[in-house]
Structure 1
Amino acid sequence: MNAPIPAVAGVSDREVEAFLVREARLLDDRKFEEWMALFVPEGYYWAPARIGQASPRDEVSLIFDDREFMQNRIRRLRHPKVYGQQPASRAVRQVSNVVIDERDAATGEIEVRSVFFMFEHRPMLPAPLQRVFAGEYRHRLRPDGESFRMVWKKALLANCDSSFEPIFLYF
């Protein structure tokens, strides 16, 4: 395991952790547009479909969304006729074990690892669906004023190679 990189240029593990907790809260509160605004314009979200998957472009992923796909997914989540989300899923995420792994001296960007748990409750009839997702987040963050923007986010589910009911929400 890599030792945490000391704070450089005023960036601390605590500041990064506060950003990741805020990001998780936006998803929990279904503020998807605000969450998407945390990405740089060329940013993307990736959830690999298998452990060790090297690229989202060479094989199928659980989710691989650039900005255009994020906008489409969010639009579908907001549409009143998306019956798989009527009523809407409720989710809570916990983010912990935040560590700054790398720092790019040229750009100031940092790569961060953290652990997450996400509980999803879909209040469907005749029986609600409840499920737990857990794994590791990896973020590449670009300093932006007093905060950060996400260059990319990768959600590595511990059980990514399992079969799943349809996935509507970001992990």
Structure 2
Amino acid sequence: MPMTNTAVSAAAALDIDEIRAFLYAEARALDDRDWDTWLAFYHEDAPFWMPAWDDFDTPTEDPANEMSLIYYQDKSGIEDRVFRIKTDRSSATSLPEPRTSHNISNVEVVSRDGTEVKIRFNWFTLNYRYNTTDTYFGTSFYTIDTASGQPLIMDKKVLLKNDLIHHVIDVYHI
């Protein structure tokens, strides 16, 4: 059923509490290892990018030509990663799966353009596995589209700020 102009306007007008609820729900899906629900947060064309830090303490800017810690061009790459996690078909898969707690703060609306909302927020994740708790922290930048009436992540950039990572970083760590 097509959305009316009123519905599009209402969808584009996500307030900060609705944006926070959206982010918390995505984090909960990761913490619960509810992979299918987590995937439903992403638009088919959504890139997922975590740049690396270069020798000048600056994040890389071009995932096609510079080092990235994680880069998927679109949702199909994220779906492939989830498939590997669910079926243990990856050497990077953690068994037993770690327990995580994602924590989000400082949610800001950076800009609004029609049905798209650009946001940034800080986060830290506690990760428990093999009697050890690791902490990851950083800043994320999302573009959320509300055109369909259901918010979807159109673009995700995660800036990991840890200097030392003890093992392979994965989508559930951030």
Match status 1:120 vs 2:127 = yes
Q: Which amino acid aligns with 1:19?
A: F
**Aligned-residue offset at 1:95:** 0.7
1:35: which partner in 2?
38
**Aligned-residue offset at 1:85:** 2.0
Name stretches of at least 5 consecutive residues in structure 2 with no aligned partner: 1-10
How far, CA to CA, are the matches of 1:138 and 1:162 in structure 2?
Answer: 22
**Aligned-residue offset at 1:163:** 4.4
**Aligned-residue offset at 1:52:** 2.9
Structure 1 residues 9 and 167 mapped into 2: Cα distance closer, same or farther (>3 Å)?
Answer: closer
Match status 1:67 vs 2:75 = yes
**Aligned-residue offset at 1:93:** 0.3
Q: What TM-score do you get using the length of structure 2 for normalisation?
A: 0.80
Superimposed CA distance per residue, residues 11-49 of structure 1 (whole angstroms, 9 cap, x where no aligned partner): 211111110111111111111221112111111211111
Name stretches of at least 5 consecutive residues in structure 1 with no aligned partner: 1-7
Contact 1:117–1:134 (Cα < 8 Å) also in 2:
yes
1:90: which partner in 2?
99
How far, CA to CA, are the matches of 1:168 and 1:114 in structure 2?
Answer: 19
Superimposed CA distance per residue, residues 75-121 of structure 1 (whole angstroms, 9 cap, x where no aligned partner): 1111246575221111110111111001124xx20110111010111
Among 55, 59, 65, the alignment partner of 1:52 is 59
Superimposed CA distance per residue, residues 116-163 of structure 1 (whole angstroms, 9 cap, x where no aligned partner): 01011123xxxx34210011111000014554100011111112x544
How far, CA to CA, are the matches of 1:142 and 1:152 in structure 2?
Answer: 9
Among 118, 143, 156, the alignment partner of 1:153 is 156
Q: Which amino acid aligns with 1:26?
A: A
- The structure that is helix-richer by fraction is 2
Match status 1:78 vs 2:86 = yes
How far, CA to CA, are the matches of 2:160 and 2:85 in structure 1?
Answer: 22
Q: Secondary structure at the match of 2:66?
A: coil
- The structure that is strand-richer by fraction is 1
Q: How much identity, in percent, do the aligned residues show?
A: 29
Count of equivalent residues: 158
Contact 1:99–1:112 (Cα < 8 Å) also in 2:
yes
1:4: which partner in 2?
none
Superimposed CA distance per residue, residues 43-80 of structure 1 (whole angstroms, 9 cap, x where no aligned partner): 12111111332121121211112322212211111124
How far, CA to CA, are the matches of 1:167 and 1:34 in structure 2?
Answer: 21
1:165: which partner in 2?
167
